Amino acid sequence: MMATSQLLEHIILLLLLLSFFLSVQTTAAAGFADKLERGQNLTDGETLVSAGGSYTLGFFSPGVSTKRYLGIWFSVSNNTVYWVANRDQPLGDRTGILIFDDVDRLVLLDGSRRRAWSSNFLAAPAAVVQLLESGNLVVRNGSSDTSLWQSFDHPSDTLLPGMKLGKNLWTGGDWQLTAWRSADDPSPGDYRRTLEMAGLPELVVWHRDVKKYSTGPWNGLNFNGVPERSWFADKYPLRVTTSPSEMTFGYTAAPDAFLTRVVVNHTGATERLVWDVGTGEWRSYCKGPRDTCDTYARCGPFGLCDAGAASSAFCGCVEGFSPVHATPSSQEVKDSAGGCRRDAPLDCAGGKTTDGFKVVPGVKLPDTQNASVDMEVELEECRDRCFADCSCLAYAAVDIRGGGHRTGCVIWKDDIFDLRFVDGGQNLYLRLSKSEFDNRKRFPTLLVATPVASVVVIVLVVFLIWWRSRRRIIGGIPHNPTMAVPSVGLDIIRDVTQNFSNGNIIGQGGFSVVYKGLLPEGRTVAVKRLKQSALTTKGNKDFAREVEVMAGLRHGSLVRLLAYCSESRERILVYEYMQNKSLNVYIFGATNLRASLNWARRLELLKGIAHGVAYLHGGSGESVIHRDLKPGNILVDDEWNPKIADFGTAKLFAVDHAGLDQTIVVSP
Ligand SMILES: *[C@@H]1O[C@H](CO)[C@@H](O)[C@H](O)[C@H]1NC(C)=O
Ligand SMILES: *[C@@H]1O[C@H](CO)[C@@H](O)[C@H](O)[C@H]1NC(C)=O
């Protein structure tokens, strides 16, 4: 009994001692290493380190420069400076000193006591300067939570979690990023990144006063032109705040998230990077501009940019428009960067109109600078408003958070700019003349007809295709100026496949043969020719439906249908050619092939496929069920990106016959 209580006493004593030492240690560690009290100075060589050790404030020289600057950097990567005090007043030597003086000023002086930088805030009796674990350098009055001054209000070229871009509507303050002049010179350069709020909120990179790149409008989830941002939304949620006091964009970081930053560099590129603890490097998560189509207004008014275009001509026109610079001698215009003009005039006056709307699916919405926005209206009413207003040229939903139930209304009355295809993009509804709807030149649109009429339509279509191919100039697969997948003549297909030569066969299935094809401009395509035995009446209908379905789908994880041919008894689909064939080759193949699928690559492939399937299951605005997802239907491009293939035909031809053990059937 006695022994037990003694033991207990010892344990308690030990615990008390231990906790005492621990508390002494933590206070010592925190010390004032992250703080400057009134009257304390920081000289070149000394630093402040935030309590958790993530950020360091001190003097540095960027790159090859020998000039000295006061800045804050990531402790893990001391050449990653995210904030600079004296951006355009560098110090010539190491005699600089940061003074927190008696009149409550944070002042940076050079060796001859000239002021290189200072912060302004109201004097407070117990002011203290502290570098917080968020990376924010704040001046506070004692332990008060409100700051008198903070570095987050004066961004350099980097946005950290908790920082904002936009406007403080009370103070008139403006938060924006300004790039460095060069990698070695932090003085403000020519590129800026701002949140634009005329119309819908958009992030814009400017070169002086010229727009260079826009992320597209905010749609409640992300910026419309950069849907891949939602990939890391769980770790770094984005937020756009619209309130009487501020209109801002910012993001936060989940407690377990790695260090991250968004930076606009001296070349105008914006990048989101995450610190990879494993490799000790910054990893780029997304970057903009990504391609030529991200160049602001690349294709001029009513142009539509397609970064994956079948040729090097990225610019096309929205449906119902033609390139302004088209010359009669070149029907297949190489590039319509000069913009597009309407083919058939609208018919709208005095409250009467015969116009209609056509959907341009999968796009980054046009610049909304001059657009009008009404968040209270739903898509149906938005359409009615646009219809009733003769000056309305296009409309779209604003907020897509409700999935299929899209709300808010944005209406364009001017020329539309900066339209491009984008994975997981939105629908734009475009006002077009009545004649664009009954015009025979739009084959796939005709097939929206009811199933009863479709047989008649097929006959009509086959005739029209034949008629059209007589007329059309033969010059390879035409560049697609509109959303519809172009049809090509059988003679062209024979040309590119060397008349369906056996030597060109790259694959064979129960219902089709796949040939390798070479376009005149050198691009390789895969040509899938359906076997005659598969061409029942149902087969014909299904073929047309696949073309129609594929026309509305655009995603980096889906194979692109480039063209089709439907002449007499030939049904042919032309796809992007995939160097690395399909996934089954690697999963079930020889050891050396299997070895090329390491776990990291498998994970990336799985993620890509999952994004593609998520897109099919509603991300595209419609629901498409593949019903035959299997390794053989996942193609792999030369960068090991997965491409889901075999739509419609797989479902339509294979499901009736294929063994279910091979087929994962996803029921709706
Ligand atoms: C801080 O700098 C000021 C001005 O150079 C000087 O007067 C003061 O003595 C310094 N204080 C400390 C604690 O070094
Ligand atoms: C918006 O209107 C202004 C003034 O007419 C014009 O300069 C600007 O180019 C327009 N912006 C867009 C995107 O249409």
Q: What is the model's pLDDT at position 344?
A: 93
Overall average pLDDT of the 353-363 stretch: 92
Going through 63-201 in order, the beta strands assigned E by DSSP cover 69-74, 77-84, 97-100, 106-109, 115-119, 127-131, 137-141, 147-150, 158-159, 164-168, 174-175, 177-182, 185-196
Task: Write out pLDDT tens, residues 487-510.
Answer: 788 888 888 888 898 888 888 777
For a pocket test of ligand 1, which of 40, 99, 112 has the largest count of ligand atoms closer than 8 A to its C-beta?
Answer: 99
- Residue 185 one-letter amino acid: D
Q: How many CB atoms lie within 10 A of CB 430?
A: 25
> Does residue 13 carry a pLDDT above 70?
no
CA of 415 to the centre of ligand 2 (A): 9
Q: Which residues pair with 513 in a beta bridge?
A: 508, 529
Task: Give the model's confidence band at 337: pLDDT under 50 very low, under 70 low, under 90 confident, else very high.
Answer: low
Q: What is the model's pLDDT at position 329?
A: 41
Instruction: Transcribe 564-604 into DSSP letters.
Output: EEEETTEEEEEEE--TT-BTHHHHSS-HHHHHT--HHHHHH
Q: Is the CB of 417 under 6 A from ligand 2?
A: yes
Q: What is the model's pLDDT at position 622?
A: 61
CA of 40 to the centre of ligand 1 (A): 7
CA of 476 to the centre of ligand 2 (A): 38
> Does residue 112 carry a pLDDT above 90?
yes
Considering only CA atoms, which residue is closest to atom 14 of ligand 1?
41
88 is catalytic: no
> Does residue 259 carry a pLDDT above 50?
yes
Q: How far is CA 526 from the centre of its chain?
A: 28
Q: What domains are defined for the chain?
A: 34-154 (2.90.10.10), 155-290 (2.90.10), 303-437 (no CATH), 487-666 (1.10.510.10)
Ligand showing the shortest atom-to-Cα distance for residue 36: 1
CA of 85 to the centre of ligand 1 (A): 20
Q: What is the model's pLDDT at position 324?
A: 87
Q: What is the DSSP letter of 476?
A: S
Q: Is the CB of 41 under 6 A from ligand 1?
A: yes
Q: What is the model's pLDDT at position 568?
A: 76
Q: What is the model's pLDDT at position 102?
A: 61
653 vs 407, residue with greater confidence:
407
Overall average pLDDT of the 25-45 stretch: 70
Strand order in the sheet with 177-182: 177-182, 185-196, 202-207, 210-214
Task: Give the model's confidence band at 404: pLDDT under 50 very low, under 70 low, under 90 confident, else very high.
Answer: low
Instruction: For residue 49, give the nearest of 36, 34, 37 by alpha carbon.
Output: 34
Q: What is the model's pLDDT at position 307?
A: 86
> Does residue 82 carry a pLDDT above 90?
yes
Q: Is the CB of 202 under 6 A from ligand 2?
A: no
How many Cα neighbours within 13 Å face the side chain of 448? Answer: 10
Q: Are 352 and 408 in contact (CB under 8 A)?
A: no
Task: Work out which ligand 1 atom sits closest to the CA atom of 41.
Answer: 1
Q: Which two tokens stand for residue 372?
A: 């009008």
- For the ranges 428-432, 440-444, 543-547, the maximum mean pLDDT occurs at 428-432
CA separation for the pair 112, 95 (Å, rounded): 8
Task: Give the model's confidence band at 76: pLDDT under 50 very low, under 70 low, under 90 confident, else very high.
Answer: very high
CA separation for the pair 639, 270 (Å, rounded): 23
CA separation for the pair 532, 105 (Å, rounded): 85
Task: Give the model's confidence band at 333: pLDDT under 50 very low, under 70 low, under 90 confident, else very high.
Answer: very low
> Does residue 156 carry a pLDDT above 50?
yes
> Does residue 621 carry a pLDDT above 90?
no
Question: Residue 22 contacts by C-beta under 8 Å, 6 or more apart in sequence?
Answer: none
Considering only CA atoms, which residue is closest to atom 1 of ligand 1?
41
CA separation for the pair 241, 649 (Å, rounded): 46
Ligand showing the shortest atom-to-Cα distance for residue 107: 1
Q: Is the CB of 370 under 6 A from ligand 2?
A: yes
Overall average pLDDT of the 596-612 stretch: 87
Q: What percent of the chain has pLDDT over 70?
A: 80
Question: Residue 254 contacts by C-beta under 8 Å, 6 or more apart in sequence?
Answer: 234, 235, 236, 237
Q: What is the model's pLDDT at position 6?
A: 57
* Global confidence as pTM: 0.67
Task: Give the model's confidence band at 592: pLDDT under 50 very low, under 70 low, under 90 confident, else very high.
Answer: confident
Q: Are 511 and 649 in contact (CB under 8 A)?
A: yes
What average pLDDT is seen over the chain?
80
Query: For every residue of 49-66, which 3-state class applies, written as one string?
Result: ECCCCCEEEEEECCCCCC
**3-class DSSP assignment, residue 19:** helix
Q: Is the CB of 99 under 6 A from ligand 1?
A: yes
